């Protein structure tokens, strides 16, 4: 029998392998066996956003991060941020938290197992065993009793963990998009608020609602109505050659009013996407002197707005980037996806962010943060836990509320008789296809360096084409 090539081996191990990049098998979103393949081959080898660093500002502060039954403690030590696998070296009981999203400070007492009282310090060193004389000496070897370290790296105001000691680094895995986002000041932001919900949908269905803007026309009609030229230029009718910022049927004054309305809708709908303080500055600039031609004036106005936001927020003591400079030197997309489960949505100086964790084949935990900069000493209290709401709660901001109205019913639709595949646009829904094929690479145990190189290609791929990942 002829030997199967690596691609063939990977496909044989995966019953729902993506063979046509424009067709994604529907069973990838609910089949339990496929979910187990992800659990075994994907999640143990990827960088997962574990917590925001403002949650652990002081020595001894810790946060528990859990996903698919794996629990990790992220702790601020005297030597920086460390992470430990969360189990007592005696009988396996979690030594901190245990419910999946707890936090505390271990600077004085350390971590104490609630079962028999064994104790560890923040660096993971065992400091107390009750009744030591009861155990054979070699069972109490110092190295063996130490908490098992988990890889952790910090970037963008967050701690990321990886259960695989041999995986490429965070930067090797995600690539230049980290530098571009860093140039936009992501590390200087803090969380204003944090919401969470359990969605009755596969984690991938929940993520894909944010991988393209093609859905805006129907799902977010208020945005489409405010600046139809912006969305039609990308997905629908052209704008008569004036560019996506300009409505050829409006005067300059009306064009600017439409832009202000869009900024206000983004702010009301998802604060971090365009912060109220930024909208206020933009509103103050509607009467600046501009050329009469809207095609020339509107882009110029945005440049003025960005310059003033930079100037005024810096004057308030906020550490924000030069928006006009970084727009040229380090352009970013409206949505940046950091494989496998973290999103950042930059606009001016503030961001929204999303994190999605699977709870089962047809259920996931979806969290949203609003991130912005504050003058030193004026930071608000840090939200330590998400405000958990039902997915159909009217207390969610408008934009996620509209997205959540689609996600559960899409999950149901996948079970409809005769629905076998997602049918993707090769030009604007390519990110969906691209990340699915990276999942296939992990399931097929492709080389870690190949997976890192492919994952880097997702940076800047929002609304982008299907690409050759070289897998």
Per-residue pLDDT reduced to its tens digit, 24-60: 999 999 999 999 999 999 999 999 999 999 999 999 9
Specify if 24 maps to a domain: no
Specify if 402 maps to a domain: no
227 and 148 in a common domain? no
The whole-angstrom separation of Cα 43 and Cα 52 is: 20
Specify if 359 maps to a domain: no
Find the CATH number of the domain harbouring 62. Answer: 2.102.10.10
Overall domain count for the chain = 2
Nearest to 273 by CA among 344, 180, 208: 344
Query: Each residue of 130-153: pLDDT tens digit?
Result: 999 999 999 999 999 999 999 999
358 — pLDDT class (breaks 50, 70, 90): very high
Measured CA angle at 410 (ends 408, 414), to 5 deg:
120
Residues in contact with 365: Cβ distance below 8 Å, sequence separation at least 6, in sequence order:
196, 197, 198, 199, 356, 357, 359
Token readout for 175 is 């690539």
pLDDT of residue 445: 92
Specify if 190 maps to a domain: no
Among 300, 329, 358, the domain-final residue is: 329
What percentage of the chain has pLDDT greater than the value 90? Answer: 82
- For 444, phi then psi, to 5°, come to -85, 10
Token readout for 182 is 């860093």
Handedness of CA 115, 119, 122, 125 (dihedral sign): negative
Among 329, 359, 382, the domain-final residue is: 329
For the chain, give the mean pLDDT.
92
225 and 139 in a common domain? no
136 and 239 in a common domain? no
128 and 54 in a common domain? yes
Measured CA angle at 364 (ends 86, 429), to 5 deg:
120
Specify if 280 maps to a domain: yes
Specify if 32 maps to a domain: no
Query: Each residue of 214-244: pLDDT tens digit?
Result: 898 888 888 888 877 777 777 876 544 445 6
Calculate mean pLDDT across residues 422-444: 96
Specify if 368 maps to a domain: no
- Looking only at the bridges linking them, the beta strands covering 119-120 and 126-128 are antiparallel
Calculate mean pLDDT across residues 304-316: 98
440 — pLDDT class (breaks 50, 70, 90): very high
- For 368, phi then psi, to 5°, come to -130, 135
Q: Structure pTM?
A: 0.93
Among 155, 173, 192, the domain-final residue is: 155
133 and 230 in a common domain? no
Specify if 198 maps to a domain: no
Which residues constitute the domain of residue 247?
Answer: 216-329
Measured CA angle at 70 (ends 66, 71), to 5 deg:
50
């Amino acid at each position: 029998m002829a030997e199967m090539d690596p691609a063939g081996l990977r496909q044989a191990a995966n019953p729902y392998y993506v063979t046509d990049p424009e067709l994604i098998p529907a069973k990838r979103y609910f089949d339990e066996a496929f979910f187990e393949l992800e659990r075994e081959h994907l999640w143990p080898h990827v960088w997962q956003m574990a917590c925001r660093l403002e949650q652990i500002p002081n020595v001894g502060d810790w946060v528990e991060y859990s996903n698919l039954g794996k629990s990790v403690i992220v702790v601020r030590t005297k030597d920086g941020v460390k992470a430990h696998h969360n189990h007592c070296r005696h009988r396996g009981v979690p030594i901190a938290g245990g419910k999946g999203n707890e936090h505390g400070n271990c600077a004085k007492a350390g971590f104490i197992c609630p079962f028999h009282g064994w104790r560890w310090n923040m660096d993971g060193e065992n400091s107390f065993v009750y009744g030591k004389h009861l155990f054979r000496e070699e069972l109490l070897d110092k190295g063996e009793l130490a908490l098992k370290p988990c890889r952790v790296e910090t970037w963008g105001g967050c701690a990321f963990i990886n259960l695989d000691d041999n995986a490429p680094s965070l930067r090797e895995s995600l690539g230049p998009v980290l530098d571009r986002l860093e140039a936009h000041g992501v590390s200087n932001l803090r969380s204003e608020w944090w919401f969470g919900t359990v969605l009755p949908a596969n984690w991938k269905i929940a993520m894909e609602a944010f991988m393209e803007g093609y859905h805006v026309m129907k799902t977010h009609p208020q945005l489409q109505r405010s600046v139809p030229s912006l969305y039609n230029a990308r997905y629908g009718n052209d704008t008569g050659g004036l560019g996506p910022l300009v409505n050829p049927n409006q005067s300059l004054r009306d064009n600017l009013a439409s832009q202000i309305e869009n900024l206000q809708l983004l702010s009301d709908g998802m604060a971090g996407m365009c912060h109220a303080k930024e909208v206020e500055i933009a509103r103050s600039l509607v009467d600046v002197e501009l050329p009469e031609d809207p095609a020339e004036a509107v882009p110029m106005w945005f440049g003025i707005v960005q310059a003033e936001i930079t100037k005024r927020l810096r004057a308030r003591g906020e550490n924000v980037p030069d928006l006009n400079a970084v727009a040229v030197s380090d352009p970013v997309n409206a949505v940046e996806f950091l494989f496998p489960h973290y999103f950042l949505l930059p606009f001016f100086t503030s961001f929204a962010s999303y994190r999605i964790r699977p709870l089962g084949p047809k259920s996931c935990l979806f969290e949203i943060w609003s991130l912005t900069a504050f003058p030193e000493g004026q930071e608000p209290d840090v939200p330590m836990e998400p405000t958990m709401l039902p997915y159909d709660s009217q207390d969610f901001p408008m934009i996620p509320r509209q997205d959540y109205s689609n996600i559960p019913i899409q999950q149901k639709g996948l079970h409809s008789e005769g629905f076998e595949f997602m049918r993707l646009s090769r030009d604007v829904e390519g990110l969906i296809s691209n990340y699915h094929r990276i999942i296939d690479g992990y399931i097929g145990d492709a080389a870690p360096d190949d997976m890192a190189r492919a994952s880097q290609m997702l940076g800047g791929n929002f609304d982008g084409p299907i690409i050759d990942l070289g897998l």
